[in-house]
């Protein structure tokens, strides 16, 4: 899941500086950060505060002007079953898997969504800058102190244009592509989780969980979600649920992780709950006698691949026409780029994403949308004349 919200300098400094006592939970990311000499762990509250206030790391120079919007807080949250296996079951490899999925998504945001507006000769132009300053903060718990692994990626309101000049970040494209980026993050996370030996299963609305968890166990450790559902109802739209999140939001307690883990282990013991163990750490099942080893493995692989395609197809069909077209262009462009070749082990989920887009239901909708666009082009003018309007609406 990916949510996004603007943060003022005061909000960011007041809330996130509390976690800088443990710098291993906070780290810099982005080409813009590297330009300012920021990389690795965030270990200085003063430097973090200076960046939030739009200044250089040492505070000597002003880079940005808008401290009312210091950053856009992109929050990446794992499915509940992953939180349970990582934080209650103790499989810390899942934390690293989540971090890798977040950074793979940040690579895409930096390349395709980093932009600013520059005024020249009385006209404001949108300029792609391809650099960001991002401060990442890992959090373990929800506001009801349930296990809830998530990362706040504070995309700072600063980006460097040509000739070294710094400008405010135009974050409109990030908000527009929020659904697509959330799907992409889930795809990356799913691939990382499967590489660790876990089986997954589809859930409503295109989500997924680690296979083997009982619904009541997930519900027990999801008290925050139950509050939101109680407020807005089971059938509420995504926007209504997000508003419900804000309405029911309360002050967060900051407890040491060791203390939280002990509480969660006691709760699990009381419930008779045992975290799921990945299949590569379980005794290997006997292969059916009437199948050869190769055919048995191929059958298991095909089932897993079909499941991924079904999950993505379901999620794509839930997008409206505008977001589906953006998603199609987004994925096709990304997987033709160099970034998609960074991790060759993700070939399976790349293939599943593309096959879901090419499935009959999804491809027919995309074709219908594109046909409607062609009709509009013919009636209203040339492609070039309509590009500004199409770019704003789509």
Q: Where in the sequence numbering do the catalytic residues fall?
A: 15-16
Q: Provide the CA 91 distance to its chain's centre, in angstroms.
A: 21
Alpha-carbon dihedral sign for residues 298, 300, 303, 309: negative
How many whole angstroms separate alpha carbon 51 and alpha carbon 155? 11
């Amino acid at each position: 899941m990916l949510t996004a919200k603007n943060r003022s300098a005061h909000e960011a400094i007041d809330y996130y500086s509390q976690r800088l006592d443990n710098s291993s939970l906070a780290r810099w990311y982005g080409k813009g950060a590297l330009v300012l000499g920021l990389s690795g762990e965030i270990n200085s509250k003063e430097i973090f505060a200076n960046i939030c206030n739009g200044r250089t790391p040492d505070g000597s120079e002003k880079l940005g002007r808008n401290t009312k919007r210091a950053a856009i807080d992109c929050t990446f949250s794992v499915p509940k079953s992953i939180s349970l296996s990582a934080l209650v079951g103790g499989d810390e490899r899942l934390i690293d898997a989540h971090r890798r999925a977040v950074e793979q998504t940040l690579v895409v945001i930096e390349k395709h969504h980093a932009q600013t507006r520059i005024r020249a000769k009385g006209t404001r132009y949108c300029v792609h800058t391809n650099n960001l300053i991002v401060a990442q903060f890992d959090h373990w718990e929800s506001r009801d102190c349930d296990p809830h692994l998530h990362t706040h990626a504070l995309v700072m309101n600063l980006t460097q244009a040509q000739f070294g000049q710094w400008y405010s970040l135009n974050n409109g494209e990030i908000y527009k592509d929020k659904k697509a980026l959330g799907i992409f993050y889930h795809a990356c996370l799913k691939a990382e989780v499967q590489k660790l030996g876990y089986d997954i299963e589809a859930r409503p609305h295109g989500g997924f969980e680690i296979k083997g968890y009982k619904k009541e166990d997930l519900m027990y450790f999801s008290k925050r979600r139950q509050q939101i559902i109680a407020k807005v109802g089971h059938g509420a739209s995504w926007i209504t649920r997000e508003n419900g999140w804000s309405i029911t939001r309360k002050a967060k307690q900051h407890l040491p992780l060791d203390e939280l883990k002990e509480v969660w282990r006691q709760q699990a013991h009381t419930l008779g709950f045992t975290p799921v163990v990945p299949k590569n750490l379980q005794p290997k099942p006997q292969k059916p006698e009437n199948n050869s080893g190769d055919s048995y493995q191929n059958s298991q692989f095909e089932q897993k691949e079909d499941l991924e395609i079904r999950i993505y197809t379901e999620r794509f069909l839930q997008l409206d026409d505008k977001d589906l077209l953006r998603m199609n262009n987004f994925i096709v462009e990304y997987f033709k780029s160099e970034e998609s070749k960074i991790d060759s082990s993700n070939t399976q989920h790349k293939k599943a994403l593309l096959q879901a887009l090419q499935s009959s239901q999804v491809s027919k909708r995309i074709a219908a949308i594109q046909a409607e666009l062609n009709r509009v082009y013919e009636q209203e003018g040339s492609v070039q004349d309509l590009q500004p309007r199409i770019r704003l609406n789509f």
